[in-house]
Amino acid sequence: MVTAWILLTGGLHMDGLADSADAWIGGMGDRNRTLAIMKDPNCGPAGVIVIVLIILLKFVALYTLVITNEWITLLWLLSSPEHYYRYYF
């Protein structure tokens, strides 16, 4: 389910988050260095850590919905992610 969740968004949010984490850690306040890191297609250690943490967070969120028998909420989120983003954001 976590894989489907990531594939549903195309992984774009995770890629942007990884780039932001790498640039924030690696740029150290230097604007040119930060922009160079953002343009680099490789993922640094900060980006990998952020991606792993986000995947774990998504897994825990789905697991919590399953063990608390919140199947209706889970099906609602999986069937229409647009509703989720409109409702919570």
Q: What is the pLDDT of residues 12-70, one digit of tens each?
A: 778 888 988 999 898 888 889 988 988 888 989 999 999 999 999 989 988 888 888 87
Q: What is the pLDDT of residue 84?
A: 54
Q: What is the pLDDT of residue 50?
A: 93
**The two three-digit tokens of residue 61, written as one number:** 């969120």
Instruction: Please state, in angstroms and rounded to a whole number, the distance separating the CA atoms of residues 25 and 48.
Output: 12
Burial of 50 (0-12, 13-18, 19+ CB in 10 A): buried
Q: What is the pLDDT of residue 3?
A: 82
pTM greater than 0.75: no
Using the predicted structure, report yes or no on whether residue 71 has a pLDDT greater than 60: yes
Q: For the chain, how many residues are written?
A: 89
Give Dmax (Cα) for the chain: 50
Instruction: Please state, in angstroms and rounded to a whole number, the distance separating the CA atoms of residues 20 and 78.
Output: 27
